Amino acid sequence: MQTSYNGIAVPTEGKAIEYTNGKFTVPDNPIIPYIEGDGTGRDIWKASQRVFDAAVEKAYGGKRKVNWFEVLAGEKAYRQTQNWLPDDTVKATVDFRVSIKGPLTTPVGGGIRSLNVALRQLMDLYQCVRPVKYYQGVPSPVKHPEKLDVVLFRENTEDIYAGIEFREGTPEVKQVIDFFNDTMLKGGKKKIRTDSGIGIKPISITGSKRLVRAAIQFAIANGRKTVTLVHKGNIQKFTEGAFREWGYEVATEEFRDQVVTERESWILGNLESNPNLTPEENAALVEPGIEFAPKEFGDSVIAEIKDVIAKVGATHGNGKWKSKIMVNDRIADSIFQQIIIRPSDYSVLATTNLNGDYISDAAAAQVGGLGIAPGANIGDGFACFEATHGTAPKYADLDVINPGSVMLSGVMMFDFLGWSEAARLIENSMEKTIQQKFVTYDFERQMQGATKVKTSEFASKMIENM
Ligand SMILES: NC(=O)C1=CN([C@@H]2O[C@H](COP(=O)(O)OP(=O)(O)OC[C@H]3O[C@@H](n4cnc5c(N)ncnc54)[C@H](OP(=O)(O)O)[C@@H]3O)[C@@H](O)[C@H]2O)C=CC1
Ligand SMILES: O=C(O)CCC(=O)C(=O)O
Ligand SMILES: [Mg+2]
């Protein structure tokens, strides 16, 4: 452990959080690194830190205290060290294990690659966990926002976020395109246009399985009834489709007693409705129109039905499957409308990186928007908490932005540390403040009779309400 990082001295009081044999040990005075963030990150962090400290003080009366330790990233780091993400910042977040960050800007089309993504990859924070639930009083564009209560598990290290891209017109992209056109696609009808840019989308067994495993473990630990694998596997068969397959493998091979797949539930349910059903009849119910499909397909469904009955008929049959966690899958475009139309059907979503990025913003909108959308990046032995939103640069330093997402990311952090009393104080005072209609501009413009407050005033009101 160093005594300073980026030339900033480590707080003299406090201890590092430790991790041994798969468990975190949290001292009463942990040193927690924070990245303030670019743009609105500055206003948000100031407000959030005040609320965090007030909640901890109120909950533990001085027995516990966070020793905040600023580490540099983004524009502030560049100004002070000429480096956007200094090695010391990564070292500090590794050494102290649990950290929290504001958003960092990523230019579009060129310039530096995402520092947010870099941090996740460098620390192997492979789960991006984004809970989306409704808080009473928050304005929402839908009629029943309270029906949505999902936790999104987004793979956080691969997919197109791997950053393997080749710019149009460069010698590198020419080499890649020539390789595909002349070697891989030779003789076929497909060709890549020579004026293309190319991006690579790696999806691995390792990345997919550990993410789905974490999602199912979360569902088991938190009494959640479904885990939905979200993918675009109809089109991207060997990446998104493979994610789905590997997800089901994890579910049925590692959590056999606790889960039932949706297809298994149909097969077992059909048999319960009619115990004399033959596998052929069951197949016709599971796959309507099967009689018109090629014989091999029909045979494979019949074989699947026999296999399910042989393997889980005794353990999951006779209605026992109804008490198991349902693992199902949905195609990504469909899930966007499903969470609006049938929000109660979904509880835990496990998905690839890009899908997860899109879905988390869309789902957040349903319960009030990006002002109230928290998140965590979690690896084995490390966690970095951050909001779903970005730097919202047009509001930078105006003291107007909603700090709710970083505050709720703090709630996730305190729960993660086992400081649930502080977490509940923050969560409850935020809900109370919103119900009193003291809100920042984003909520005020959608509410009647609300008082528009500044970021800093919202924090003060929350502290008063604790
Ligand atoms: N993890 C991270 O650090 C992330 C970083 N980014 C980066 O942030 C930069 C800006 O991205 P951009 O696409 O504008 O997305 P942003 O999420 O920063 O902002 C988009 C819009 O969402 C609303 N919004 C965002 N944050 C809040 C908040 N705290 N309270 C209320 N409303 C909010 C605002 O809407 P309105 O204008 O209607 O008020 C804002 O204009 C980019 O460089 C991007 O790469 C993006 C996402 C995550
Ligand atoms: O890193 C970025 O700039 C954007 C990342 C992002 O949108 C996200 O993680 O949700
Ligand atoms: Mg995003």
- Catalytic residue of the set 38, 88, 357, 442: 357
pLDDT digit string, tens, across residues 405-447 = 999 999 999 999 999 999 999 999 999 999 999 999 999 999 9
Residues with CB under 5 A from ligand 3 (ion): 357
Our answer to whether residue 19 is catalytic in this structure is: no
pLDDT digit string, tens, across residues 248-307 = 999 999 999 999 999 999 999 999 999 999 999 999 999 999 999 999 999 999 999 999
Given this model, what pLDDT does residue 68 score? 98
Given this model, what pLDDT does residue 287 score? 95
Residues in the chain: 466
How far apart are the C-alpha atoms of 426 and 132, rounded to whole Å?
17
| Residue 130 annotated as part of some ligand binding site | yes
| Residue 144 annotated as part of some ligand binding site | no
User: How far, in Å, from the CA of 70 to the mean position of ligand 2?
Assistant: 21
Query: CATH code for 1-128+377-466?
Result: 3.40.718.10
Our answer to whether residue 161 is catalytic in this structure is: yes
* Ligand that comes closest to the CA of residue 409: 1
| Residue 391 annotated as part of some ligand binding site | yes
Query: How high is the mean pLDDT of the chain?
Result: 97
pLDDT digit string, tens, across residues 171-221 = 999 999 999 999 999 989 999 999 999 999 999 999 999 999 999 999 999
Ligand 1 atom, smallest distance to 387 CA: 1
User: How far, in Å, from the CA of 406 to the mean position of ligand 1?
Assistant: 12
Counting other chains too, the contacts that 136-140 makes at CB distance below 8 Å and 24 or more residues apart are 136/431, 136/434, 136/435, 137/431, 137/434, 137/435, 137/437, 138/367, 138/368, 138/372, 138/434, 138/443, 139/368, 139/443, 139/446, 139/447, 140/366, 140/367, 140/368
pLDDT band at 111 (very low <50, low <70, confident <90, very high): confident
The residue to mutate among 117, 157, 359, 406, having the most atoms of ligand 2 within 8 angstroms of its beta carbon, is 117
The DSSP-derived string for 191-229 is: ---TT--EE-----HHHHHHHHHHHHHHHHHTT--EEEE
Residue 464 phi/psi, 5-degree rounding, is -60, -35
Ligand 2 environment, Cβ below 6 A: 106, 114, 116-117, 357, 388, 390
User: How far, in Å, from the CA of 101 to the mean position of ligand 1?
Assistant: 14
Q: Alpha carbon 104 to chain centroid distance?
A: 17
User: How far, in Å, from the CA of 299 to the mean position of ligand 2?
Assistant: 45
Q: Work out the burial of residue 434: count CB atoms within 10 Å of its CB; fewer than 13 is exposed, 13-18 middle, 19 or more buried.
A: buried
How far apart are the C-alpha atoms of 90 and 76, rounded to whole Å?
15
Nearest to 15 by CA among 37, 5, 28, 30: 30
Task: Label residues 139-165 b or e (16+ Cβ within 10 Å = b).
Answer: bbebeebbbbbbbbbbbbbbbbbbeee
pLDDT band at 110 (very low <50, low <70, confident <90, very high): confident
**For the whole prediction, is pTM greater than 0.95?**
yes
Positive or negative torsion for Cα 177, 183, 186, 188? negative
pLDDT (average), residues 301-326: 97
- Catalytic residue of the set 5, 135, 161, 248: 161
Domain boundaries in the chain? 1-128+377-466, 165-199
User: How far, in Å, from the CA of 434 to the mean position of ligand 1?
Assistant: 21
* Ligand that comes closest to the CA of residue 156: 2
CA 294 to each of CA 129, 177, 282, 302: distance values in angstroms, whole numbers, following the listed order: 42, 37, 17, 13
- Residues linked to residue 349 through DSSP beta bridges, in sequence order: 152, 228
| Residue 440 annotated as part of some ligand binding site | no
279 lines ligand 1 (CB under 6 A): no
pLDDT digit string, tens, across residues 66-83 = 999 999 999 999 999 999
How many secondary structure helices (H) and strands (E) does the chain include?
16, 19
Q: The complex's ipTM?
A: 0.98
